[in-house]
Structures are given as C-alpha cells and as structure tokens.
Amino acid sequence: MIQTKTLTVQIGAAQALRDISLSVSPGQRLGIVGESGSGKSMLGLALMGMLPQEAALLGQITIQGRDMTGANDAAWRALRARQIAMIFQEPMAALNPLRRVGDTVMDPLRQHLGLSQEQALNRAIALFDETGIQDPQAKIAAYPHSLSGGQRQRVLIALALACNPKLLIADEPTTALDAHVARRITDLLVRLSRNRGMALMFISHDLAAVARTVDDLAVMYGGEIVEAGPVAALLSTPRHPYTQGLLAARPPLEPGHLRRRLPVIPGTVPGLADLPPGCRFAGRCPVELPICATTRPPKTQLKNSHTAACHRLTTGTP
C-alpha cells in the first residue's frame, strides 16, 4: 500500500535520507532500527508529508496507488489519520496539556468522519476501550497531567486509530516508557495490527522490542537502509557489518557475561553534513575494504527478501 523509490530528503547540503526504497503491504509489520541520527524518524515524517519546510523531497512516494511526490499540504492532510497515522516518542509532550484527552481524540472523528458530538463520544469511549484504557468513560474527561505515561501513549494510539488508518507509524513509542509498560504497549500494537489488518511501521532503536513486534526489519544507518529482510533471517544471519555490530552490542542476560565488556561499534554516527562519499559506514566498519571509502555498495539480493548493501557481499569475501 506504501512504496518509496529512491526516496531522498535533502536539508540544505545534508542528505537526511538517501535512496530509500521500501514497501509496506496491508497488514504487514515492518520494523525500522538504527542509531539516533540514522534518519529513521525522518523517514516516518516523510511518509506523513510532515517534513520540515526547508527539507526537499526527491524520489517517489506512492500511497494506495497515488503518487504523493510533490503533493501539496491539502493532499497530504487527506491521507493523514484516514490512511496513515502516527504516534510519537514522548507521550508526555504529545498531548495538549490544556485539553481533555477525550476532546483531542474526538477532533478527527468529528472533522474527518463528520460524527455528531454524541457519536464521537461513543466512538472515543470504544477506542479507549480497544486500546486498553481502564474506565474509559471517566478517562475521556481527564486532562493529560492526571494520566500515566502508559495511559497517555494509549490515548495517543486511540487518537491515531480514530479514523481507521491502513498504516500506523509508531516512532519510538516505547522509548519514554519503562520496560514493563513498554512491553504492554508493543503487545497492544501487535494485537491492534492483527485485529484490524492494519500495517504497522515500528521505528525503534530497541532491537528486543522490535524483534517481538514485527515480521520484517530494515536497518538504517546514515540515512540509508543498509540491510532489510524477515526478522528471523536478519537476527540469525545478519550480513551487513553494521547489523552484526548492532546485534553484538546487545547486553546478554546470562550472569557470567555481565563481567565481560560489551562489544561496541567504534566511533559515532557521522553528522549528516560530512557523510563519507562511499559506504556511509566506512571509517567505523571492522571489515572495511579499500573500495568502501570511495564507492557506494550496491544492494545485494540474498535469500528470500533479505537484502544488504555491502561490498563484502559482492566481492565474495563476507
């Protein structure tokens, strides 16, 4: 239902996203992982048509068969809420402190679906119920400050679901929540996706949370997708050195391992303004070849839908 082809987002001289080609089919759950600054949030905003004004969008975005490249704000607004909805990282900040949460959720119901006040209220209560908010009748009239972080994220999910979107983009929905609550929110997202046949794009840097939520995974680095494929394949046989480093950097749970130093990927993510011309991972890569610094690695098709972009895969020395 959503396809991007060589999607590139240019902000000034910097390329925030480069040549992103991905597709999300109805009901599919896709995870996007990467470090801070890898462009994963930018990708979510690009798919919502909510890029900052100074950003230039190149390439192609197709949503429900409609080419959205160069679409104006009104065209995007027609898709938001009804086709694609989004939830954000900070449930504390994503609700207007001066409005009752029920009013916030009822806004799109009344404006887009044209429901009456009473219909919208009933629908909002049903949505609160669906997102697992206890005592929805009372919570409708609550102000954000009286709700917990988990409850607020549920309210925001209810808001996102209000107009039955075909795709929900969740931009780090659990980062601001503690592990226990985060687990229940991801479970809720999976359940909603299954029950509604709604596609889910789960953006996170929490590999464990992503692994139990999605079917397919795309690993982003420096504004590019470096490796993509089914979760199981990516986790068991990662082919890109960045993915391998990411997986190795997960803290193991066995008690004996706690005393060992955690492997880390050396260096930091390069700034968007000074990305290397070749492979963007060059300079930090443990298995770098001379060619990496100058030439961009091609996307290599591996088993099934598993793809990775690394020179090691084409030069035959993985």
The H or E element spanning position 61 is strand 55-63
The size of the interface with another protein (CB under 8 A), counted in residues, is 31
CB atoms under 10 Å from CB of 263, counted, come to: 13
Tokens matching residue 221: 């680095």
- The count of other CB atoms within 10 Å of the CB of residue 262 is 11
Q: Which of 48, 58, 190, 302 binds another protein (CB under 8 A)?
A: 48
Q: Is there binding between residue 145 and another protein (CB under 8 A)?
A: no
Start-end of H helices in 171-310: 179-196, 207-211, 231-236, 241-248
Under the criterion CB under 8 A, does residue 190 sit at the interface with another protein? no
211: left (phi > 0), else alpha (psi -120 to 50), else beta?
A: alpha
Among 80, 154, 306, 312, binds another protein (CB under 8 A): 80
Among 61, 140, 160, 234, binds another protein (CB under 8 A): 160
DSSP calls for 128-196: HHHTT-SSHHHHTT--GGGS-HHHHHHHHHHHHHTT--SEEEEESTTTTS-HHHHHHHHHHHHHHHHHH
The single residue among 3, 60, 62, 90 that binds another protein, judged by CB under 8 A, is 90
Per-position x/- string for 58-77, each x denoting binding to another protein as judged by CB under 8 A, each - no binding? -------------------x
- For residue 78, state whether it binds another protein (rule: CB under 8 A): yes
Among 58, 59, 62, 82, interactor with another protein by CB under 8 A: 82
Stretch that binds another protein, among 94-102, 120-128, 188-196, 263-271 (CB under 8 A): 94-102
**In 3D, which of 162, 49, 161 has the Cα closest to residue 114?**
162
> Does 101 help bind another protein (rule: CB under 8 A)?
no
Q: Is position 107 an interface residue for another protein (rule: CB under 8 A)? A: yes
Binding residues for another protein, rule: CB under 8 A, are 48, 50, 53, 77-78, 80-82, 85-90, 93-99, 104, 107-108, 111-112, 156, 159-160, 162-163
